[in-house]
Every structure is written in C-alpha cells, then in structure tokens.
Structure 1
C-alpha cells in the first residue's frame, strides 16, 4: 500500500501538479510573513508587554529554535505516517496557537505561544518540500517548482511588512498573529482536495533516543550563542558540551542503524554539504539584516511600520525575482557558480553597510538590502533543489527536513549571533542621563525600544540626548555586526566554491 501511495504522488496530471503546488505555497507564505511581521512588530510588542532584552530575543528566537530542533523528527514522522497528514495537523495547530498568541498579556505568554508555534511549524515545512519532491519527478519541472516554493518565502517577506504595517497602524500588535488563520484555511481545504498522500514505503523504526539526541544537539548550541554575554561561562560551556555530546551520539547511532532516521553519510556528498552551507548562510544574512534594519527604519529614521515595509519592498521583490531567474542562470552557468555568486553578493551587501552606510543613511541601507536580496534569491532556490536531488524520492522527507533545519538554524543564528553582538555593542556604547534610576537605566540599556520608552518620560533635553546616544550606539553595533556578516558570507563563498565541483548542475 505504501508503495502505491508513493507512486500515486508521482503520476499526477500536469494541472493537478501545479494546483497542488499552489496549495503548498500557503504554509510557506505563512511562515515567511510571520517572521517578517514579527520583526516589524518588535517596537509595538516592546511598548505593550515591556519585555527585557533577553525576553525580546526569546520572543523572536524561540519559534525558529524549536522549529530547528523538531524539523528532522517531523520530517521522519511525515515519511512514516504520511506527509499530507502531518502537514494538515501542523496547519490546524498553527492556526489555533496563532490566535492564542494574539491575546498574550505578558512576555512569558508570548514566548510560550511562539514555542508551541515552533512545534506545529516543524510539521509544515518538511512536508511541503518533500511533497514537491514526490509530486514533480521530472528534474526540470521540479527545479521550477522549488524556485516558486523558494520565491514564496520572499513573497511572504514582501507581504509581511506591508500587511503588518497596515495592521500595526490601525490595530494592536496581536493582530499580526491573526494573519495565520485566514492564510491556513485554503491549505486545509485545498490540502484535502488536491494534495496526494505520500510516505516512505520502507520507513525506519521509531527511535525515541535519536529524536532526543537531535533535539539536544541543536537547542543547547543555539542557547549557548544567545546567552554567552548574559550567562556565567560555565553555563555556556556546559551547553556547548551537551550539544557536541548529543551530536556525536546521534551520528554514531545513525551509522549503526540498519535504517536510520537520517543517513548521515549524505554529508560526505560534496554537493549535499555545500548546498546546506549555502542555505544556512543565505538565510543567516537575510534574517540578520532584517532584524536591525527594521528597527533602524522605525526607531531611528522615524518611519511608520507601513513606510518601513514599503522601503524594504524593492529588496524583497528582488529576492523573489532572482529566485526564479536563478533557474535559467543555473542551466547556463551551473548551479554552483550561481550559488557562490549569491553568497558573494551577500558579502558585498554587508560591506556596503560598513563602508557606505556608516552615517546610517536610509538610501545606502536600502541599496545594500537590494544587493542582499539578489544574492539570497540566487542561492536559496538552487541550494534547496540540490539537497533534494541528492537523495531518493522515498527519503525526501528526511532530506527536506535537513534542508529546512539548515534554513531555520540560519534564521536562528542570524538573530542570535548578530542580534546578541548588536545588543552587546549597543549596551556598551550607550550613555544614559545620570538622573535615571537603576530600573530606567537597565531598560534603556537593554534595547533600542527601551531607550525610546524611557525617553518619553524625560525632560526634552535629556530625552534628546538619550535618543541621540541610543541611535549612535545602535548604528555602531550595526557596523560591527555587518563586518562580521560580510566576512562570514565571503568565507562561505570560498568554502562552497572549493567543495562543490563546477560541473554540478
């Protein structure tokens, strides 16, 4: 029966295949919109819930953190019980929890809701990509489908700031979470009518220990990065040690298993490993950039959420356009060359911020974002397709889960690494008025939003001095984090160019 289900997924009519792809774009759009909207809602959430700097990072990070930890287990679950089934369960849970998140009354409740969203979100993403792998057996059609799938992330990022800006200007911050409900309804209806079920005809056995090990490989690692400036050194070292030990244990267990959850031998494939590197660094660059530029546009340049979203729209549109353009470019020049070129453009974009945008000029920031959008669009589509084509169709759930894990780990690290460094530099550079008490000083030092809130209760001269110092400290942090991101993207481009053979298509 399982083999019949898998075969059915690969013999759909042309119109049914593309209709099924349309349905699969809704969860992709949802996740992308959700991430972008949240970045733009940071000032509003800070004003309503008054989170600490650490809580603010957790509100942003806990969702992709949980998501990254569960993507591989959920991809395996989809291979075993059915990818469509897992997708629809995830969509239902995501919609319900999103509605609850909209009415959180404090930062802790919002962090908890975001964690639950991560659990259900982990059911959505591997299922979409693995279903595409089975619905489109033809390589040319599949690459186009993956390009459309990847461009949906950019499309969601375009819609997020605009729709979110409109909502934030007219409604409370929780309205951005309610977007999930109408967006998931077409998936639930269309999924039942159009999507074929598919699963691995020979799934591995359920291995609870492997699931625990993969979760404890990812979670402590990201926690260590996030907390290295706030927690004692022994806590950070302990988290890293736990991550390494769990990772080693997971790999050893998979190598010894007759039918492992993940075939870790795939990482010896240069194309597979190189594509994952491109995936991670590309998303790292994009998410990290959006994290700081959305705050700069609203809190320093003084734009409304809607105006900030409109300013970022050209860069996000270019991400989507070049995701589609990358397919014919890869056919002409080879996928590795296009992916390396995309990483190089990411490095150039951050270099523009460092050298030309040191004054915090919005024009240069947006120009840099356009260059970054082109680079990310070129690299992400091809990296996802390369990961999928490295494995048999029956293992597409696990492979897409690995690809999505790289994507989400990149998203987590983009905020965790760059956000933590930015906040650390900001706190060190900020000069607060001597008249502030300890609580007000702490609030101003922790986040840029906190400084703006404190300034509202100060005399005009003190408020102006605090805001000027906050703007300078924040932009100084942006220059340092941009320098680090530029170097990382450049190094990644060199590494990928060396490990992926130019002939790889």
Structure 2
C-alpha cells in the first residue's frame, strides 16, 4: 500500500477521533457549567427559608432581613460585568475555578457570622464569587456550542440547572435549618463550592482573542448606584417621603446615569452600548431585568408570607415554592423542543406573559384562603419562568459576538440580579405597607403580586417589539 493511501485511511480516523474528543469536551463543559450554575442559584435561593431563623438567632429586624434577602443579588449585579470581562481576558476555566474557591470562603463566612450585618456582607461577597461562576459558565457554553440546535439544547439545559438550583436551595436550606440550624446551610454550600473548584479543572480553557481592560470607574458607579437604589427601596418601606429615602433613590439613579456616561466615552467599555442598537440584545437585557423585578422579587418573599401569614412551617413553605421552581426547571428542559421558527424574543414574550397570568392568579390568597390557593398560580408562573429562562440563556450568547460571550452573559445576568435586588426591596415595601403582622402581609402580598404581573406584561410587550424589529 502506498504511503498516500495510508494517509487517506488515517485522515478520516483522526478526524473522527478529534470530533469525538471535541464532543466529549463540549459535554464536560456543559456538565461543569450547569453544576456551577445550579450551586450558585441554590446558594442564592436557600436564604428565603433560613433568613427568619438567622434573624431570630442574631436579633435582626425586618430591614436586616430585607438586606440579607437582597444582598446576593446586589453582589451578583455589581460583579457580573467585571468578571465577565475577566473571564474573556484571562480564561473562563481559570475564573470559574477561582470563583468557586471564593464562594467556598464566603459561604464559610456566612456560617460563622456573629450578626446580621456580617451575614448580609457575606451574602454580598457570595454574590461576587457567584458572578464569576455564572458568567464564565454561560460564556464557556457559548464557546463550546458555536450555534444551531446544539446551542439551543445546551442553553436549555443551563436554564434547567438554574431552575433546579432555585428549587433545591429553599428545600435544602429549610430542611437543614429545621434539623441542624441555619448555619449548616452555609457549610453545605461551602463544601459544594470546594467540589466545584476541583471539578473546574476538567474544563477546556477558552478566552477572547482581544483583551479588554478592566473598567474600574464603571464597576464602582454601577455597584454604588445599585446599593443606593436598594437602600432607598428598603428605607421607603417606612417612609417614601423622607429626605433620606428620596436622597438614596436620586443618588442611585444619578450613579447609574454616570455609569452609562462612562461607558459611552470609554474606548473599551464593559458594555458596548452600541449593542443596544440590536433588538436581540435589548430583548436580552430588558427581559432579564423584568424577570428579576417581577419574578425573583416576588418569589423570594413568598416563603415569608407563607410562614407568617399562612402559618406554614419552613419546609412546607419551601415545598409549596418548589411548585414554581420545579415546574420552571422541567419546562426549561422542554423549551428546547419549541419550533425554531419562534425567535428567542418571541419565546421570551410568551414566557413573561404566562408568568404574568400566574402572578395574577396568586392575588387570590388575600381573602382568608389557605396556601392551596397559591398552587395553580405558582404552576403557571413556573411554566412561564421555564420558557423565559431558556430564551434568556440563548439570547445572552447569540446577541453578542462569540469572542464577547462573557460580556453577553455578564450583561444579561447583571440585569437579572439588578432587577432581583430591586424587586425584593420593592415587594417587601409594598407588602409591609398594608399593616404589621400576618394579616397585613397577606393583604400586601395581593398588591405585590398585582404589581409584579404588570411588570411581567411590560417586559413581554418590549420583547414582542424587539422580536418584530429583529425580523426587519
């Protein structure tokens, strides 16, 4: 046999082996990315069933509970854009591994917190570490699955992991708090983060072709603006007309406007504002923002209403909430089977509309009804969340150039958790304004659910407009 003939036989074999290795590498990337996202969202959501016990143990009030509920959202929103840039520049595997180690340390800090102030600070730092995991995970998926049906399926699985984390966090947190105390939840998070740090070594490294400098002025103004707005919403719970409340809200808006101005003049900004000319990018950002405002905010507060207003136990409240998060997880997996002719913005609009319908159904709890009145609304809202989360995961990576997948996922998730931090504070402010005690919380819940449904519908309208514009 001639040498060139041997080459003809070897080349296809080598190509097949290379393709097999690439496929296994992509599957491994998806497994680690999904596991990391699940862990971050479990840590994010576990607090909804442990915050009451921690506040009683550490002598905290409603304001400290609200800060603790909002704190991880604040850390995520502040850091996601910055760590997205770091992941693009220095490697997504490296950032994921370091962030997992950081999550382990900050979770341990939460476990030993001597006060609610320290616990809230630990939650902010958990958010910063979690931001590195979420941004590098989704960016790694964008690199491993360049496009087409494979990317749709991968981002649907990522969204399902997001839903699974939100479902498991409150259940695990509530069960541990009831048996071993609220601190055990943070120790479990720390142990899982250590395992993720070791598992991240199996990822193949990827990074952007051209590095971007870290935008410190942008990071500072974004973080300070978010903190000021959140503080203003928390203070508004007692008096919206107080000079302190008004000053915090105006100051936060001014700082966020400064952030936008900084990004406009920087040569290499964290967020390329010209991307807002792309309707798909606008849908990605506004959809994530309204998801945080209208869904994360309301659902994060729901266990408190169930415990104090409907007199359910911690684990029972988590189980009821799992109707929403569990449905969301299952639907996220099934969303990959939706027809390809449905664009991502239109899928997002469908998801937000269904979520609005579910939240409208949740307003029935106010008339002395039991927790069972929540079930149908939570199921419909979960259906909508699943469709919306799958669409947002896909939009995050398809609405930006492939070498800026970290920025795309960072911007998308920043908007989600910016909305989440503001949404929690807004829901608490609305619910608390209807009187103290359990009855007041239940009446306030109806109003908060109605406002959240209206926000979902507003997000759906924007998504439809973006979808129509994207088709030209």
TM-score (norm 2): 0.89
Aligned equivalents of 2:224, 2:298: Cα separation in 1: 28
Match of 1:46 among 52, 55, 71: 55
Q: Which runs of 5+ in 2 are unaligned?
A: 1-18
- Give, in angstroms, the shift of residue 122 of structure 1: 2.3
Aligned equivalents of 2:254, 2:294: Cα separation in 1: 28
Q: What secondary structure, in the 3-state scheme, does the structure 2 residue paired with 1:500 have?
A: helix
The number of residues matched between the two structures is 453
Q: Which residue of 1 aligns with 2:40?
A: 31
- Give, in angstroms, the shift of residue 54 of structure 1: 0.9
| Cα shift readout 1:273-332 (whole Å, capped 9, x = no counterpart) | 122222222233332332332123333433332233233333322101111222222525
- Give, in angstroms, the shift of residue 91 of structure 1: 0.7
The 5 Å alignment of 1:246-257 reads 246-257=255-266
- Give, in angstroms, the shift of residue 157 of structure 1: 2.0
Q: Does residue 220 of the first structure (1) align with residue 228 of the second (2)? A: yes
Q: Which residue of 2 aligns with 1:390?
A: 399
Aligned equivalents of 2:126, 2:38: Cα separation in 1: 15
Q: Say if 1:413 and 1:358 are closer, same or farther in 2 by CA, change over 3 A.
A: farther
Aligned equivalents of 1:133, 1:300: Cα separation in 2: 44
Q: Which runs of 4+ in 1 moved over 4 A?
A: 502-505
Contact 1:65/1:412 (8 A) holds in 2: yes
Match of 1:131 among 128, 134, 140: 140
Q: Say if 1:247 and 1:268 are closer, same or farther in 2 by CA, change over 3 A.
A: farther
Q: Which residue of 2 aligns with 1:186?
A: 195
Q: Say if 1:28 and 1:206 are closer, same or farther in 2 by CA, change over 3 A.
A: closer
Contact 2:30/2:154 (8 A) holds in 1: yes
Match of 1:481 among 424, 427, 448: 448
Q: What secondary structure, in the 3-state scheme, does the structure 2 residue paired with 1:13 have?
A: helix
Q: Which residue of 1 aligns with 2:12?
A: none
- Give, in angstroms, the shift of residue 258 of structure 1: 3.3
Q: Does residue 209 of the first structure (1) align with residue 209 of the second (2)? A: no
Q: Which residue of 2 aligns with 1:19?
A: 28
Q: Which residue of 2 aligns with 1:417?
A: 426
- Give, in angstroms, the shift of residue 223 of structure 1: 2.6
Match of 1:492 among 459, 462, 466: 459
Q: Which residue of 1 aligns with 2:270?
A: 261
Contact 2:92/2:140 (8 A) holds in 1: yes
Q: Which residue of 2 aligns with 1:277?
A: 286
Match of 2:64 among 55, 59, 71: 55
- Give, in angstroms, the shift of residue 502 of structure 1: 7.7
Q: Which residue of 2 aligns with 1:467?
A: none
C-alpha RMSD of the superposition: 2.3
Q: Say if 1:257 and 1:189 are closer, same or farther in 2 by CA, change over 3 A.
A: same
Match of 1:195 among 203, 218, 221: 203
Q: Say if 1:357 and 1:424 are closer, same or farther in 2 by CA, change over 3 A.
A: closer
| Cα shift readout 1:368-393 (whole Å, capped 9, x = no counterpart) | 11111000111111122113111111
Q: Which residue of 1 aligns with 2:99?
A: 90
- Give, in angstroms, the shift of residue 230 of structure 1: 4.2
- Give, in angstroms, the shift of residue 127 of structure 1: 1.0
Q: Say if 1:47 and 1:240 are closer, same or farther in 2 by CA, change over 3 A.
A: closer
TM-score (norm 1): 0.84
Q: Say if 1:386 and 1:184 are closer, same or farther in 2 by CA, change over 3 A.
A: same
Contact 2:286/2:459 (8 A) holds in 1: yes
Q: Does residue 471 of the first structure (1) align with residue 433 of the second (2)? A: no
Contact 1:336/1:502 (8 A) holds in 2: no
Aligned equivalents of 1:296, 1:256: Cα separation in 2: 46
Q: Say if 1:503 and 1:111 are closer, same or farther in 2 by CA, change over 3 A.
A: closer
Q: Which residue of 2 aligns with 1:449?
A: none
Contact 2:74/2:227 (8 A) holds in 1: yes
Moved more, 371-380 or 13-22: 13-22
The 5 Å alignment of 1:348-367 reads 348-355=357-364, 358-367=367-376
Aligned equivalents of 2:320, 2:221: Cα separation in 1: 43
- Give, in angstroms, the shift of residue 504 of structure 1: 5.3
Q: What secondary structure, in the 3-state scheme, does the structure 2 residue paired with 1:331 have?
A: coil
Contact 1:67/1:122 (8 A) holds in 2: yes
Q: Say if 1:212 and 1:314 are closer, same or farther in 2 by CA, change over 3 A.
A: closer
Q: Does residue 377 of the first structure (1) align with residue 377 of the second (2)? A: no
